Amino acid sequence: MSTTDRLRYVYAVTRPFDGVLPEGARGIGGEPPRLLRHGDLVAVTGAVAPEDFDEAPLRARLEDLDWLADTARAHDAVIAALSTVTCPLPLRLATVCRDDSGVRRLVEDGHDRFVRALERLDGRVEWGVKVYAEPAAEEEAEPAAAGSGSSGRDYLRRRLHARRSREGDWERADALCRRLHGELSRHAEAGTVHRPQDARLSGVPGVNVLNAAYLVDRERSEEFVELVEAASEPGVRVELTGPWAPYSFAGIADEEAHEAHEAHEAHEAHEAHATTAAPAAQEAGR
Amino acid sequence: MTAPVRAASPEPLAERRIALVDLLDRLLAGGVVLTGDLTLRIADVDLVRVDLKALISSVSEDVPSPWGPAGEVRP
């Protein structure tokens, strides 16, 4: 297929940069990303097949978890490569134009928004923080006591004890989420929560009760990471991922949202940093 | 913990092995959403396969954010 038939996948928008992308950086379909300069911005694109990325096939492909996984990993590989040389503004997965002129129009139309977002995100990284309540720790307590007695009363006592212990674990997880979320928010420039992850997809033990992301200055990241690393408690596991390119914060580039955030910060300062409730923790009892 | 932490260095970003679920949270709910010359807006995609919809947290229910509308990133 000739290059002209192919569509243009747009990974990110950046400022022009001097460095070179790491050798072997490949995007979707194994294609090396291409830089398309338009004015004072650069669109990072790749040619993709219309059989996959034209509207109708794309709708179908997105239903295929394996295809989605490959595409997401390829997208992230390009963003990660870009992150070694500049601070990219990642676009939503599957942003696809017909041709280069379509890409230029996108850059042109979104110019001011891109510039504002790039400025806001420059020098920042995203950290992911997930809190898990760990039922495994609760269940271990039961077999440990199992050999000690065999009467019905002992059994019931153990059951009651186990239930109280589980309730205590949920409460601890909930309290930790709220406390940690408040503390991390004060050390971050912005924060957001994703929906808790389903264990069927994540395949990790425990119940995900908080799935948050924080935008942190690179220079302050060490301090932030130390806070997260010190946060785990018995029965409550805290996991850190990152540093990520600021995916979760790229979309809130609109001035309106930015101003609202600043207004909220002012409000929060007024409230003397009242601990923010983590809504995800409320699902802990599911 | 997924990565050795050297925040000032770019290496962990490029080398770490990423959980798919963390990636999908970011790629399906994060990133700049554009309109215009696109073949398709992913925000308009209604994932019909029920298991996929259930598994991918980002495209399911909205999550109330403790920051109000400003802190939210939605599809």
With respect to residue B3, please indicate whether it lies within any of the assigned structural domains. Answer: no
Beta carbons of A167 and A185 less than 8 angstroms apart: no
- What are the helix (H) ranges across chain B? 11-15, 20-29, 50-55
Q: Which residues of A touch B63 (CB under 8 A)?
A: 193-195, 279-280
Domain of residue B25: give its range.
11-60
Asked if residue B63 has pLDDT above 60, the reply is: no
A261:B70 CB<8 A: yes
Q: What is the pLDDT of residue B7?
A: 39
Residue B39 phi/psi, 5-degree rounding, is -70, -30
Question: B4 to chain A: which residues are within 8 Å by CB?
Answer: none
Chain B residues 35-64 within an 8 A CB cutoff of chain A? 36-40, 42-43, 45, 47-49, 52, 54-58, 60-61, 63-64
The answer, yes or no, to whether residue B50 has pLDDT greater than 60, is: no
The predicted pLDDT at position B68 comes to 34
Low-confidence ranges of chain A (pLDDT < 50): 137-141, 144, 253-260, 268-286
Residue B19 is assigned to a structural domain of this protein: yes
Listed in sequence order, the DSSP H helices in chain A are 50-53, 55-61, 65-83, 100-109, 111-121, 135-146, 152-187, 199-202, 221-229, 247-250, 255-270
Compute how many other C-beta atoms are within 10 angstroms of the C-beta atom of residue A169: 20
Q: Would B71 be classed as within a structural domain?
A: no
Rounded to two decimals, what is the model's pTM?
0.76
Residue B26 located in a structural domain? yes
Do the chains contact at B34 and A53, CB–CB below 8 Å?
Answer: no
Domain tally, chain B: 1
**pLDDT: is A227 or B71 the higher one?**
A227
| A241–B18 C-beta distance less than 8 A | yes
From residue A26, alpha-carbon distances to A49, A90, B38, B53 in Å are 15, 16, 22, 28
User: Is the model's pLDDT at B31 over the cut of 60?
Assistant: yes
In a domain, B74, yes or no: no
pLDDT, greater one: B52 or A106:
A106
Q: What is the ipTM of this complex?
A: 0.77
Q: Which residue has the higher pLDDT, B9 or A19?
A: A19
Which of A83, A113, A195 has its CB closest to that of B57? A195
Mean pLDDT of all residues in B20-45? 82
Chain B residues with CB-CB distance to A96 below 8 A? 38-40
* Residue B61, pLDDT score: 47
In chain B, what residues touch A72 (CB-CB under 8 Å)? 20, 23-24, 27
Closest Cα in chain A, distance from residue B74 (Å): 8
